[in-house]
Structure 1
Amino acid sequence: MSATATPTDPNRQHLETARELISRGELQQAALTLNQAQRTMPNDPRVFMLAGLMAEKAGNIPKAFDGLRRAVTLAPDWAPGQLEFALLHARQNQLREAVELAEKLALAHPNDLVVLAGVVDIAHRAGHLDMAIRHLRRGLVLVPGDVQLRRLLARDLGDQGNHGEALETWGALIGENPQDAESRLGRVKACIAAGKPAQAVADTTALMELAPGDSVVAYYTAIAHGVTPQHQPPELHRAMFDSLASLYDQHMVAGLKYKLPKIAAEKILARYPDKHLNVLDLGCGTGLLGVCLGRLDGFLIGVDISMKMIEQAARHNVYDRFHNANLLDALRDTPDSTYEVVAALDVFIYAGDLTDTVPDAFRLIVPHGDFLFSCEAAPEDGPDLVLQASGRYAHKRSHAMAVCREAGFTSVEIEDLVLRYEGDQPVQGFLVSARK
């Protein structure tokens, strides 16, 4: 049977109602509505698709796969069911399967723009820039000149390192609409990534007129004028981390071989084998440090600018409380001598300057307590703080040591590490263990 609604479709109202109820989280009522729809048309693949999405919303992932698999079996040529099945694989970090399904779907439905959008989303989730770019170019054949597709293409080209074509694409968009703030900001980022920040001055000037007082614009304006900002505004990364939250653990641990939380947790537990301590996890992300520590005989507090990241961390059931705040606010608002350990892993690559934050962390730690933080390594013959083409800060090892000593830490150990891998290349950094 066809999965497409007809003017006399007896299930249409049931299905529309069920979808709306699922989106609002009213799952019990949605289930009743889907039961009505199934009684009306027992083998309607749309019912099983929505049942799968409802199960996912409820956290029953095996049942979600069962529902969507049944929908695809009933209507193997129905693009919406196939697409939701592929997207479910992607959302559950089964990225190889998701990519395979997406490529087959794109081949079977080459002119379906909804399919195209889903395939590009899966490519991005899987980190397959070549795949995303290939399908975006195909989309622009279907809808020449589409602004959103061109923006996505320009961004992906820049991330791929094809800065020339990225800048050309951004330039064409701005030429068509000089008031396009999103494209101007895209070109600013592309200029910086290409190592040509001075070429972004005209765009940052225009952006300051379009969005006066915007902290992100002010940040990029400083870079364009050759100034290294001491900190990055939280707004710069909140949306990015929100979008990455569901994929972060798989991406960092499996994809980038990120072992820093495990290393830090081993250091903490070696010092406190009875787990009788209080820990502040600054920039807790999805809670990888908490997972490695396990439940404490004390409290474990997580701080992050991304609410979506916090939601993922809460699922581990090891944190006692969370604060949705940036690093500087969290440090300022925390009472003195509260924690045995303060950790800031992969935080200063975005937070930047150590000279204010390290002394503030010192204040929060009890006597004989520890501050553990990581940095990407900057050359010792250069400035203390370097803003790299990646958009992340790097710090001199000697500067981190000096700032800790000046803050009052009596023992400072620095361990050189490979923090993660990017493009199969190691990212060099170090982990600081400073004791009060």
Structure 2
Amino acid sequence: MLLPPSFRSSGDVLADRRYEYASAAFDERDFEAAADLARQVLELAPGFAPAHALLGRSLAELGARDEAVQALRQALGLEPEDVLGVRIDLARLGDLPADGAMTDAYVRALFDEYAPKFERHLTRSLSYCGPELIADALRRACSKRIREYRFGLTLDLGCGTGLMGQALDGLCASLIGVDLSPRMLEKAERTKLYDGLHEGELVSFLKGRADAEADLVVAADVFVYMAALDDVFREAHRVLRREGLFAFTVQAHEGDGFLLGQDARYAHAERYLRALADANALTPVVLEPVSTREDRGVPVPGLLAVMQR
């Protein structure tokens, strides 16, 4: 599970040192030691939310569900914006619904920390290829629809450091990106590929756009951080001009709807995507299984879609 930085000073030097030891023990999967050290931290700094979160995660790994929930709830009470992502842990323990478990504050903190090493980690460690797959699927979709493989105004949802913009370089008359993380947007700005970059949540961003203004809306591996996609589909349809395209990737699962996986990402079913497309007058031109990244050397199942308004 990717986590935002949980270390900051508790205000007690000894507590900070023990928290570092607890974190190291957790990373080495010595969950008993991690839990014991986290308790020691809390004896010294009872209001230190990261230690409550670490204790809860350690107890969850040890199978002590009720104690884990109690510790995680304590962390959430101390930091209700949840930059630590404990709502995800609570959802996985069945104490919260999966829908809404991932907060904007968590995603922003996660990617602000991730930004300096984002591209290197994705491409080298995870063999990430989402933008390239989307660009190729758009080429094939344009061929099927007998239209030029070029686009007018393009909206890049969750643009990150600009990898999708690089894959579409030279193909868009205008490219505008949105992302929650200001540090990721700083990286995207340096590409010089975007005509506009906006910090914010993507549905709110879409709601602020004009009707039928975009020729293409893209979202490369963004919906793994969202549960229900109803609002995204509705707004994508609204902002797209007639015959405009909506291209995206998701992690996939067999079944219906969406679920929160053990990797702390959402997976969406093909039937769910097709139902949303039908409800929002979007025609799937490409909808196929892909893997955009690996997890410990194993391809992660996903879906690639290009839909036409």
Return the letter of the residue paired with 1:167.
A
Residue 81 of structure 2: aligned partner:
214
Contact between 1:379 and 1:396, CA under 8 Å: does it hold in 2? yes
Q: CA deviation at 1:255?
A: 1.7
The C-alpha deviation readout for 1:367-411, integer Å capped at 9, x for no partner, is 11111121111232xx52211222111111211121121111123
Residue 287 of structure 1: aligned partner:
162
Residue 260 of structure 1: aligned partner:
130
1:426 matched to 2:299? The reply is yes
3-state SS of paired residue (1:419): coil
Cα distance in 1, alignment partners of residues 298 and 24 from structure 2:
19
**CA 1:424 to 1:222, structure 2 compared with 1: closer, same or farther past 3 Å?**
closer
1:302 matched to 2:172? The reply is no
1:313 is aligned, of 153, 178, 188, to 188
Residue 167 of structure 1: aligned partner:
35
Cα distance in 2, alignment partners of residues 398 and 158 from structure 1:
38
The C-alpha deviation readout for 1:309-338, integer Å capped at 9, x for no partner, is 111111111111100111222122222112
Q: CA deviation at 1:363?
A: 1.1
Overall identity of the aligned pairs, in %: 27
Q: CA deviation at 1:192?
A: 5.8
Cα distance in 2, alignment partners of residues 264 and 410 from structure 1:
17
Contact between 2:284 and 2:305, CA under 8 Å: does it hold in 1? no
Residue 276 of structure 2: aligned partner:
403
Cα distance in 1, alignment partners of residues 247 and 61 from structure 2:
30
Cα distance in 2, alignment partners of residues 297 and 180 from structure 1:
48
* Structure with max Cα Rg: 1
Cα distance in 1, alignment partners of residues 82 and 266 from structure 2:
18
Residue 390 of structure 1: aligned partner:
263
Cα distance in 2, alignment partners of residues 194 and 412 from structure 1:
46
Contact between 1:375 and 1:394, CA under 8 Å: does it hold in 2? yes
Q: What are the residue-to-residue correspondences of 1:116-135 with 2, within 5 Å?
A: none
CA RMSD of aligned residues (A): 2.8
**CA 1:184 to 1:218, structure 2 compared with 1: closer, same or farther past 3 Å?**
closer
Contact between 1:185 and 1:203, CA under 8 Å: does it hold in 2? yes
3-state SS of paired residue (1:284): coil
1:235 matched to 2:105? The reply is yes
1:328 matched to 2:203? The reply is yes
Residue 15 of structure 2: aligned partner:
147
Return the letter of the residue paired with 1:409.
L
3-state SS of paired residue (1:232): coil
* Structure having greater relative contact order (Cα 8 Å, sep ≥ 6): 2
Alignment coverage as a number of residue pairs: 290
Contact between 1:416 and 1:429, CA under 8 Å: does it hold in 2? yes
1:179 matched to 2:83? The reply is no
Cα distance in 1, alignment partners of residues 263 and 58 from structure 2:
11
Q: CA deviation at 1:302?
A: 0.8
The C-alpha deviation readout for 1:218-253, integer Å capped at 9, x for no partner, is 835862514213362111021221122121111111
Contact between 2:88 and 2:102, CA under 8 Å: does it hold in 1? no
Cα distance in 1, alignment partners of residues 207 and 63 from structure 2:
35
Q: CA deviation at 1:305?
A: 0.7
Cα distance in 1, alignment partners of residues 301 and 170 from structure 2:
31
Q: Which runs of 5+ in 1 are unaligned?
A: 1-126, 128-144
Q: Which runs of 5+ in 2 are unaligned?
A: 3-12
Q: CA deviation at 1:189?
A: 4.4
Q: CA deviation at 1:163?
A: 4.2
**CA 1:180 to 1:332, structure 2 compared with 1: closer, same or farther past 3 Å?**
same
1:339 is aligned, of 208, 214, 218, to 214
Residue 5 of structure 2: aligned partner:
none
Higher strand share: 2
Contact between 1:219 and 1:229, CA under 8 Å: does it hold in 2? no
Cα distance in 1, alignment partners of residues 99 and 27 from structure 2:
22
Contact between 1:286 and 1:310, CA under 8 Å: does it hold in 2? yes
1:362 is aligned, of 216, 221, 237, to 237
Residue 6 of structure 2: aligned partner:
none
Q: TM-score, normalised by structure 1?
A: 0.60
Return the letter of the residue paired with 2:231.
D
Cα distance in 2, alignment partners of residues 406 and 196 from structure 1:
43
